[in-house]
C-alpha cells in the first residue's frame, strides 16, 4: 500500500514555527497526532518505527517538534507552550486529513502534555487519547500527582504501559486508570520498560514487543466510535 510522507512546517500562534511530518497511507482510516517524549524529537528512530508501523495498519500519523526541541534547548517547554503546540498540531492534522478519525497523544511527555491540553479545553475533533508510556511520576519517586488532570478528560483514553516502566508504578497506575471508569483502558506490555524495550531473557525481541503495542493501538483507534 502506497504511503505518502510530507515534510511540513507548523505555525504555533504567538510562539513560532516548528517542523512536522505527515505519514499517510492511501488506505488511512484515522490520523494519530503523535507527540514526542522529553528527550527525543519527532525524527527519533522510535518515532519513525511507530509512524511506519501504524501506516502499515492503515493509520496516518502527524508528528511535530515541540518548540524547545526545534531550537535544540535542553529543558522542555512550559506547559502553556506545549499545550499550544499540541493544539496547533491537532488543527493542522485535521486540515490535512479531512474525514479521517482524529486521535492524539504520544510518548511520555508528549502524551502528558496532550492530556493536559485536553483537560483544559477539548481538542477539536479528537475522539480519543492514546499514551505510549504515560509518565505517572519521575524515576524512583512514586506519586499520582501527574494524573490528577485526567479526571477532566471526557473522551476515551488508552494507556499502553510496560510492566518494567520506571516512570509508572503499575500498583499506582492501575487504580488511577480504574478510577477513570469505562473511558480508560490499560494495556500492559509484559517485560517492557518506558520505551517498551524488553530483556533478552524475556524470550522475545523489542520489535515483537513494539508489534504488540502497534497492534493494540491500531485496533483501539479503529474501534473508537
Q: In angstroms, rounded to a whole number, what is the distance separating the alpha carbons of residues 31 and 63?
A: 10
What is the arithmetic mean of pLDDT over 83-100? 98
- Bridge-partner residues for 188, per DSSP? 161
pLDDT in tens, 136-166: 999 989 999 999 999 999 999 999 999 999 9
Q: Indicate the SS3 state at residue 113.
A: helix
pLDDT in tens, 46-57: 999 999 999 999
pLDDT for the residue numbered 54: 98
What is the arithmetic mean of pLDDT over 36-44? 97
Q: Are 24 and 4 in contact (CB under 8 A)?
A: yes
Q: Are 221 and 103 in contact (CB under 8 A)?
A: yes
pLDDT at 133 over 80: yes
pLDDT for the residue numbered 1: 72
Q: In angstroms, rounded to a whole number, what is the distance separating the alpha carbons of residues 127 and 220?
A: 11
Amino acid at each position: 500500500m502506497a504511503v505518502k510522507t510530507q515534510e511540513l512546517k507548523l505555525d504555533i500562534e504567538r510562539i513560532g514555527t516548528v517542523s512536522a511530518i505527515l505519514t499517510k497511507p492511501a488506505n488511512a482510516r484515522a490520523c494519530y497526532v503523535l507527540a514526542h517524549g522529553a528527550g527525543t524529537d519527532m525524527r527519533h528512530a522510535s518515532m519513525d518505527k511507530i509512524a511506519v508501523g501504524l501506516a502499515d495498519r492503515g493509520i496516518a500519523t502527524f508528528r511535530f517538534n515541540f518548540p524547545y526541541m526545534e531550537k535544540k534547548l535542553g529543558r522542555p517547554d512550559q506547559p502553556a507552550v506545549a499545550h499550544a503546540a499540541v493544539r496547533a498540531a491537532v488543527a493542522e492534522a485535521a486540515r490535512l486529513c479531512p474525514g479521517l478519525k482524529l486521535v492524539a497523544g504520544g510518548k511520555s511527555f508528549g502524551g502528558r502534555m496532550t492530556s493536559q491540553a485536553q483537560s483544559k479545553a477539548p481538542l477539536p475533533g479528537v475522539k480519543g487519547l492514546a499514551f505510549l508510556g504515560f509518565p505517572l511520576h519521575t524515576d524512583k519517586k512514586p506519586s499520582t500527582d501527574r494524573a490528577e488532570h485526567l479526571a477532566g478528560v471526557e473522551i476515551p483514553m488508552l494507556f499502553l504501559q510496560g510492566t518494567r516502566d520506571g516512570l509508572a508504578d503499575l500498583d499506582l497506575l492501575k487504580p488511577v486508570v480504574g478510577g477513570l471508569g469505562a473511558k480508560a483502558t490499560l494495556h500492559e506490555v509484559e517485560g517492557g520498560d518506558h520505551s517498551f524495550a524488553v530483556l533478552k531473557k524475556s524470550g522475545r525481541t523489542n520489535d515483537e514487543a513494539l508489534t504488540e503495542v502497534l497492534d493494540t493501538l491500531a485496533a483501539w483507534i479503529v474501534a473508537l466510535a
